Amino acid sequence: MEPISGDALRGHLDALILSALERGSAHGFEVWQRLEAAGSGALKLREGSLYPALYRIEAAGYVKSAWEDGVSERRGPRRRVYRLTPKGTRRLADARSEWQHFTAVIGGILGAPA
């Protein structure tokens, strides 16, 4: 299967991130891991795309973030943990509806089975 990256992801990345956070709060790397796993290795997401998208959807009010508690057994710098907001949940529902409409229209044009 060909990897999906770049232009093919544009316009869908925000919804993909919201969907990953629907499973629960996560730091950026964990969001990336969830997306990679859900994409079965076909989704090739660069860090340079993920973090600007996280900042953008946070500014829009779809997610909230906070620094993780300092009490941790792991080493390394603190991580920012993101969680879905009620506004983000509504946006995700809208994005799913938009995606279903899009795939139905384009599928009909391309002759894909319904």
Would you tell me the crossing angle of helices 13-22 and 86-110 to the nearest 10 degrees? 130
How do residues 17-48 score in pLDDT, each as one tens digit? 999 999 999 999 999 999 989 988 788 787 78
How do residues 47-73 score in pLDDT, each as one tens digit? 788 999 999 999 999 999 999 876 656
The whole-number pLDDT of residue 107 equals: 87
Pick the closest to residue 57 from 101, 12, 102, 97 (CA basis). 12
The whole-number pLDDT of residue 111 equals: 86
Q: Is residue 5 a contact partner of residue 46, using CB atoms and an 8 Å limit?
A: yes
- Domain count for the chain: 1
Q: Is residue 20 a contact partner of residue 34, using CB atoms and an 8 Å limit?
A: yes
Mean per-residue pLDDT over the chain, rounded: 86
Residue at 30 is within a domain: yes
Residue at 101 is within a domain: yes
List the alpha helices (DSSP H) in 23-65.
28-38, 47-59
Domain interval for residue 42: 6-110
pLDDT at residue 2 greater than cutoff 70: no
pTM: 0.83
Residue at 23 is within a domain: yes
User: Tell me, what CATH number does 57's domain have?
Assistant: 1.10.10.10
